[in-house]
Chain A
Amino acid sequence: MKTRRLIALIVGLGVVAAAVASSTTLASSGSTKAPKKTYTFYLVAGIASDPFYLTMKKGAQAAAAKLGVKLIFTGSPKAFSPPTQIPYLNAAIARHPDAILIAPTDKTALIAPIKNAIKAGIPVETVDTFINAPVAFTNVSTDNPAGGRAAADALVKAIGRKGTVAGISVTPGISTTDQRKEGFEQELKKYPNIKYVGTQFDNDDETKASQETAALLTRYPDLNGIFAMNVVSGDGVTAAVKNAGKSGKVKLVEFDAGPEQVAALKTGTVDALVAQYPYGIGQLGVQLAYKYVTGKKAGIQKHYGTGSAIVTRANVGSASIKKYLYTP
């Protein structure tokens, strides 16, 4: 009985090993048959399952296809965090591509790994987020402080210029959401009749975001508006406001324009979305990297801002807004 089980196990492992071996040989023979040198870029997402980055991937792929560049999209689908992202970056470095585009998940934690890439001779461009060291040859991102300010204006307008507002964000230390929060808080100071009760952090988990929102609604029964600072925070806040039966009563302004968020905008729970242009970030990111690796480094600036748009129920169907809606 025991030996039979052991034999079954060995046979099973053998089959798996054979399958892995055959698939790797196939893969390597495929790549060696490439006829001539094509540029290979890696795009390392902050979190590969998020509609924002998947839309960015589409823009990057479109630009890469036009330029004849091979683009490899990678990143952890599991978490927006340095420990999950760094292995993907290191794997990309190990393949020695012609350039790496990365959305760093932390302003400081990613500095050393990115420096390693540059030391290995691979130019690095930061997209969406950035790091606190000027080592990337350029950065392409949304103007996040401006987005935060625009969100404050939209929220203040939605609640009728006076009342109590709160924020829900991911976690401190992320360049983008920190800037949105700062912009939001700065702009609120311009409105004397607004009481701001602070921001809660949800670790990019919609269950936690909805818990926090429910508690805020209890704590401040007169809460008039909430600013949710990314896709996941937005989805959690929306669910909690719906559950509380306060759709439309508590005004919501959210960053990003994921499918759930757009649906909530159309059905009336969300009042405005500050949509970034991830497709454009991906597209411009690849074009700039191509320019850089083909020797046209001179004209490249250190930073490029891609626009954002305020999406409302009134304009969500219009042609000019369509490109801002995320299409994972």
Chain B
Amino acid sequence: MSEPKTVEALAAEIEAEERRPLERLLVYFGRYWLFFFLGGLVLYFSLTTPHHAFFGTNNFKTIALDTSEVILLALGETFVIVTAGIDLSVGGILLFSGVTGGTVMLDLAGTPAQVASLQYPHASVAVPVGVLVIVATSIVLGFLNGVLVTALRLPPFIVTLGTLGMFFGAADLVSGGTNISAVPSSFQDKVGNGKIAGLFVPVVIALGFVIVTHILLRYTRFGRYTAAVGSNQEASRRVGIPVDMHLIKVYTLAGFLAGVAAIIDLSRFGSINLAAHNTDNLNAIAAVVIGGTSLFGGIGTILGTVVGAFIPTVLQNGFIIQGVDPFWQELLVGATIIVAVYLDQLRRRRLS
């Protein structure tokens, strides 16, 4: 099939080579492509919504609030996916730790009669203890995932699919199949609805963990091990990286961050809804993958994940403000995500 190059083709090649500086510039911008895409969405919605309603501090604050929970789940998921693993159980960890902590919180806050009439005489003890129980439970569950993945040598997909079911079932058992509701109102006022420096507390918490995990993945030995294990597990083992121990740590971290998300969920709604977390894992994985992390491991960034988490929320918010019909919203969100990731992949292919 291959024919000798014509003079014209050679000329075109030379011309293309001369264009390289421009292309290099494009590549440089391309690295931040997703940021530009998100910025473009914000600009588009700001210009097209009636009275530019989208473009407002309060709207940005609520978008950030709505995204904080999925960001926390996605941060942990980023580490797991960079190790070439996957954690399908994050929604289960969120639910089980939230239900357990919420139950403890309600039991300690007052007698059942007092709680039923929204009186919480011991809220000052019950809330911090409940939060600690959530954190401790989530760490144990994440640790369990890590141990099962390494000790049984099973694919993380299977292990976490299994534990997802176990955690959901355990949450039903602990709660007796009832949504946990009406936790002390002080918890809602101070955390879910509280503000620090004008920002909602859940947003501040999420921002804190974004900074910490960004540093952890990018600048520490922990991050380098994570990428190394994901690129080539066998090679990592041979150069002396304690692979199993590291994987356990990564799954424990993902569990812990799901616990933090549970705290935010409980404090925002004053309740934990047994039915509301079935697709948390998909939302988290979607944020990670939209953000450019490879499902095959080795490559990934926290900032990409953050942008990936924001894109669906911004689209949903923007479409509603534009007044798009509810049935069209979901369709358009899905289609836009495909376009964004396709363009990102095009850029990557050209880069390599």
Contact = CB atoms under 8 A, between A and B. Distances in A.
Given A49-B273, A205-B276, A221-B53, A5 B151 contact: yes
Interface size class of B (residues with CB under 8 A): 35 or more
A260 B269 contact: yes
Interface stretch (B7-15, B61-69, B214-222): B61-69
Contact of A206 (B62, B116, B193, B276): B276
Interface in A254-287: 258-260, 263, 266-267
Interface in B110-143: 116, 118
A77 to B, nearest CB: 5
Given A200-B320, A201-B326, A218-B321, A236 B269 contact: yes
B317 A243 contact: no
A205 B66 CA distance: 13
B253 to A, nearest CB: 23
B185 A48 contact: no
B21 interface: no
A267 B62 CA distance: 22
A5 B150 CA distance: 12
A256 B186 CA distance: 24
A244 interface: yes
A79 B200 CA distance: 30
Given A260-B269, A260-B270, A328-B178, A210 B66 contact: yes
A164 interface: no
Given A207-B276, A263-B118, A218 B66 contact: no
A258 B181 contact: yes
Interface string A195-239: 001111100111100111011101101000000000010011001
B193 A50 contact: no
Contact of A263 (B152, B179, B270, B278): B270
A49, A54, A214, A215 pick with most chain B CB within 10 angstroms: A215
Given A207-B66, A207-B276, A239-B192, A215 B178 contact: no
A297 interface: no
Interface string B183-196: 00100100011000
A315 B7 CA distance: 91
Contact of A211 (B116, B118, B152, B317): B317
A260 B182 contact: yes
Interface of A: 5, 9, 47-51, 54, 77-80, 197-201, 204-207, 210-212, 214-216, 218-219, 221, 232, 235-236, 239-240, 242-244, 258-260, 263, 266-267, 327-328
Given A211-B317, A239-B192, A259-B181, 8 more contacts: A9-B152, A49-B178, A49-B274, A51-B178, A78-B168, A210-B268, A235-B273, A327-B116
24 contacts: A49-B273, A49-B275, A51-B178, A79-B275, A80-B275, A198-B326, A200-B326, A206-B269, A206-B271, A207-B69, A214-B63, A215-B59, A215-B320, A218-B53, A218-B59, A218-B317, A219-B50, A221-B51, A239-B192, A239-B268, A243-B200, A244-B58, A259-B182, A327-B116
Interface of B: 49-51, 53-54, 56, 58-59, 62-63, 65-66, 69, 116, 118, 151-152, 168, 172, 175, 177-179, 181-182, 185, 188, 192-193, 200, 265, 268-271, 273-276, 278, 313, 316-318, 320-323, 326
